[in-house]
Structure 1
């Protein structure tokens, strides 16, 4: 199903990013939260800058100009044409040049069922998708040969339905833990383990295998993502009240903000009010449009 659209310009007059969201077919909705396409138009050499928010794993196909992603120690790395991104805990800067990006956002269940790699191995990393997913070169070539979203969705649905049919049974504990983590307030690891009927050791191992991070980091990450989403959708509520609901005080929130975003809240919100950052602030949690979901342009 073809969904929402977002459009944004770079800070300089020039490239424009047009973002369109689509939903997978019904059999895949538990595994894939959304498909989205980003078309960047502009002169050769122009680029758009944006953030990759903390999110679950994604598969991204890119045709056209190169796209660079901030790696360790602030250095940039050129992303492969078909790249598999593991779950992320911290923001990353990305430079996108004219071309087309087609992306698939996995749920934690989808990562386990469709990607079938220990999430901790690729946490905060990306690799060439062909090293993990069979048949990805054929899919990449097919996507490059179509120009409309409906055709892209049909290709993606066919690929992932076939992969799902050949995949292992879904572990129901993943959904239970995901729901508990998303709903959790300021809880301790032991309390969360009790809620989901697991020992702390089982939960720790499962959190890293299914979500990519130790349980404590996972809880901190989700608390931060929820709070950031509320700040962007405050509807007139004071920032102080929103922060107080999740953190001990403003300084606690500021420390967590710097940890996950690499900058102060003030710096981030000043940047996010300027194009093209409006794209990434339109939707910042980890599900599809309409569900308060993932960042719009990654």
Structure 2
């Protein structure tokens, strides 16, 4: 059960825009600080999103995706692209995170994204993810200034990028079309980028982690949820995306992606997500990672 924490200042979250070279591959780099007794942790139910790598110092986090059992997380973790809610709880800790766009997955991870979809993985235990674990070296014991640590994290990522596979321009084009709410069907999505349904399916599972139909369904759901997170006093009927045929369709999607009803979710505290939605919106122009519009990669990438 997600419970409120008595300390209103228990959560601090800061987002950083990646350097220009990394911007086509990352949403943001961020630092989360929480202060709470481990017996009464800060807890939240995180919405579906793209992949993240996180590096924790202090109390270890407790997490689970969907209906999986909650477990203690390793210090360096990959949260794969998700289509289900993630329970996340922590005591007193500091964590650096890097949000990977589908273009970033294609450049930084050698394995197709669907192999890690809806999974939480120890970075050091999987060969294909182990290069990203080197970011931990840039963080150390997390006692340096945020600016110094940020520069070192970017340095590690730039080094990995130098040895990464070449750019696949279809991944960026597919993502740019996905975040365009005028694209309402798989057929329209494929036509927009000039590929067959079979090719779109291949791109989607390899770089995005899911089939095209589920990605479009997730996108309209996130647009609806983002409106609520920015204004929790708003009624659900006013947040529903225009791509929904009716309210029952939205209700079914809510249950599919969050594992509960909209009213039940609204009644829960959201100390991490509410802080993240406002800070991310102010910093990056999108309340959720899954709503970030991708930056076109350089032709020389």
Do they fold alike, i.e. is TM over 0.5?
A: yes
- Contact kept, 8 Å, 1:40 with 1:98, in 2: the verdict is yes
What is the number of residues matched between the two proteins?
A: 284
CA distance in structure 2 between the partners assigned to 1:222 and 1:266 by the alignment: 20
- The structural deviation recorded for 1:95 is 1.0
- The structural deviation recorded for 1:259 is 0.8
- The structural deviation recorded for 1:61 is 0.3
- Contact kept, 8 Å, 1:111 with 1:210, in 2: the verdict is yes
Which residue matches 1:168?
165
The range that moved more, 191-200 or 207-216, is 191-200
CA distance in structure 1 between the partners assigned to 2:201 and 2:64 by the alignment: 29
Which residue matches 2:6?
12
Which residue matches 1:66?
60
User: Is 1:24 the counterpart of 2:18 in the alignment?
Assistant: yes
- Contact kept, 8 Å, 1:185 with 1:223, in 2: the verdict is no
The range that moved more, 75-84 or 124-133, is 124-133
3-state SS in 1 of match to 2:184: coil
- The structural deviation recorded for 1:222 is 0.8
Which residue matches 1:75?
69
- The structural deviation recorded for 1:246 is 2.1
Gaps of 5+ in 2: 290-301
- Contact kept, 8 Å, 1:186 with 1:246, in 2: the verdict is no
- Contact kept, 8 Å, 2:65 with 2:118, in 1: the verdict is no
Gaps of 5+ in 1: 1-8
CA distance in structure 2 between the partners assigned to 1:236 and 1:12 by the alignment: 21
Distance 1:186 1:262, change over 3 A: farther
Which residue matches 1:112?
106
Which residue matches 1:202?
199
User: Is 1:215 the counterpart of 2:215 in the alignment?
Assistant: no
CA distance in structure 2 between the partners assigned to 1:288 and 1:106 by the alignment: 19
Which residue matches 2:188?
191
TM-score, normalised to structure 1, is 0.86
CA distance in structure 1 between the partners assigned to 2:79 and 2:241 by the alignment: 33
Which residue matches 1:100?
94
User: Is 1:282 the counterpart of 2:278 in the alignment?
Assistant: yes
CA distance in structure 2 between the partners assigned to 1:17 and 1:235 by the alignment: 18
Which residue matches 2:119?
125
- Contact kept, 8 Å, 1:71 with 1:77, in 2: the verdict is no
3-state SS in 2 of match to 1:123: coil
CA distance in structure 2 between the partners assigned to 1:197 and 1:257 by the alignment: 31
RMSD over aligned CA atoms reads 2.7
